Amino acid sequence: MRMDAREMLIKSARENKTILCFGIDPDIPKMEAAIGHGKTVEQTIGPFFHPIIEKLLSENAISALKPNYAYFAQYGFDGLYALEDIIQHYKGKVPVILDGKRGDIGKSSEAYAREAYDFWGADAVTISPYMGEDSVKPFVREGKLAYMLCRTSNPGAKDFEELMVGKKAVFEHVAEKAMEWKTGLVVGATSDAIKMLAKATKNEVPFLIPGVGSQGGDLEMVMDAIKANPAIHRINASSSIAYAYAKAGGKPADAALKEAQRLNSVIRKQF
């Protein structure tokens, strides 16, 4: 029997001794600098990312993949074909989190959930909780995991997420609903709110944690916040791994592995 997404996360974390997630954000100009110009989108994305992913997996440097839908969709159907190629290639080998940030009225969310889980074959998906329970529930499916946006890593998070509703901020109310609705949470590494949220959720709600790479989040602080149950969480790094070669030089896969190992030197203190 196929294990559910939460079990996959725990198993993968323990086997690889890391909770590092590699975010896949295709940026054609950055990739062309490494593999040359004049190629199609599909000839660029796959040949750039496959060697990196294979290297990271072979060295047990990651325990999840997070392709960002928007970065693929910006290149039209060719970008989406590349997304399909990556998901199908690594599905079953490592948990795949589709970063789509979906969320709509009930019937539309049902359609989006089928797209994420049945069409793309993702194990998990990011969603927006803004429209409430009927927009979230279609993504709460047996064997799958939905991560609700909670306290995100972007500067604009303060515009709504930190607004006070009663005695608690909006993001705190979202965390309470995550426990009730059995979802995960997207919690950025750029705010020490992660400490509060880990405590409030008793470290039993899976966090997807962006912001430790190019956005400059505090990895030590994050690991301290989730140390009671680290295996259910995932710390994401995207461009800082994928395009590490731009600073370090050499082959993209080798530079990516070196950056992942740098992050893992902190993460693995908990394993």
Residues β-bridged to residue 147: 126, 184
Contacts of 88 (CB under 8 A, 6+ apart): 121
Q: Exposed, middle or buried: residue 181 (CB in 10 Å: 0-12, 13-18, 19+)?
A: middle
Residue 233 CA to residue 201 CA, distance in Å, equals: 13
Tell me if 138 sits within 8 A of 125, measured CB to CB: no
Residue type, 117: Y
Nearest to 243 by CA among 94, 86, 23: 23
| Distance (Å, whole) CA 171 – CA 174 | 5
Q: Determine the 3-state secondary structure of 217 from DSSP.
A: coil
Q: Does 101 qualify as catalytic in the annotation?
A: yes
Which of the following is catalytic: 11, 30, 91, 101?
101
Q: Which residues contact 31 (CB under 8 A, 6 or more apart)?
A: 44, 45, 48
Catalytic residue set: 101
